[in-house]
C-alpha cells in the first residue's frame, strides 16, 4: 500500500509540474508520515526578478480522503528581501464540501491536490528573494492525513 502512495504522489508531482510558461516558482514539502505538527513550518524562497509584473500566488495542499476536516487553517508569513517581516496572515482554506464531503481538489485514488489562490494580481514591492513560511493552525497536533504543502507563484494573465 505504501508503494501505491509513493507512486500516486510521484504521478501528482509530474502532473502539477507540467510545462507552464507563467510559473515562476513551484515547490512542495512532503509532510512526514502525513502528520503535520505545528512546529513543522515549511519555508519557500522565491526569487522575484520583475517587480513591475503582477503575480498570482497559490497554496498547494495535498491530503488523503481520510483527512478529518473540510477546512484547514494556515498561518502564512512573508519575509521580504531585506529580511523584514512583511505580513503574517491566518487564513481558512476549504478542501472539501462541508455538507457532502466531496473534495474540491483534483484526485487520484485517495490523494487530492488543491491549488488555492491567496494573492491575486499582486505586485511585489521590489526585486529580490521573498520567503513564504507556512504552518498549520488547527487545534489538532499533529494534523493527520496531510501529505504535502507548497506554494506556486505565477505571472498573472494580462
Q: Domain map of the chain by residue range?
A: 2-155
Copy the grid coordinates of residue 153. 507563484
Q: Whole-angstrom Cα distance, residue 71 to residue 98?
A: 8
Is this model's pTM higher than 0.75 or not? yes
More confident residue, 2 or 104: 104
Domain 2-155 sits in CATH at: 2.60.120.380
pLDDT at 9 over 90: no
pLDDT at 16 over 70: no
| pLDDT recorded at residue 19 | 55
Express each pLDDT in 34-86 by its tens digit.
999 999 999 999 999 999 999 999 999 999 999 999 999 999 999 999 999 99
Read off the pLDDT band of 20 (50, 70, 90): confident
Of 89, 82, 78, whose CA–CA distance to 133 is shortest? 78
Express each pLDDT in 90-144 by its tens digit.
999 999 999 998 999 999 889 999 999 999 999 999 999 999 999 999 999 999 9
More confident residue, 13 or 22: 22
pLDDT at 3 over 80: no
Amino acid at each position: 500500500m505504501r508503494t501505491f502512495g509513493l507512486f500516486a504522489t510521484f504521478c501528482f508531482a509530474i502532473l502539477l509540474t507540467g510545462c507552464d510558461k507563467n510559473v515562476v516558482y513551484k515547490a512542495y514539502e512532503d509532510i512526514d508520515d502525513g502528520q503535520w505538527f505545528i512546529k513543522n513550518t515549511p519555508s519557500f524562497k522565491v526569487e522575484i526578478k520583475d517587480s513591475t509584473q503582477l503575480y498570482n500566488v497559490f497554496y498547494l495542499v495535498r491530503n488523503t480522503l481520510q483527512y478529518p476536516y473540510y477546512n484547514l487553517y494556515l498561518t502564512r508569513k512573508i519575509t521580504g528581501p531585506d529580511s523584514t517581516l512583511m505580513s503574517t496572515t491566518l487564513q481558512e482554506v476549504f478542501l472539501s464540501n462541508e455538507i457532502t464531503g466531496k473534495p474540491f481538489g483534483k484526485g487520484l485514488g485517495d490523494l487530492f491536490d488543491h491549488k488555492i489562490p491567496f494573492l491575486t494580481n499582486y505586485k511585489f514591492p521590489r526585486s529580490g528573494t521573498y520567503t513564504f513560511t507556512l504552518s498549520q493552525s488547527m487545534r489538532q497536533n499533529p494534523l493527520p492525513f496531510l501529505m504535502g504543502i507548497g506554494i506556486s507563484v505565477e505571472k498573472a494573465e494580462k
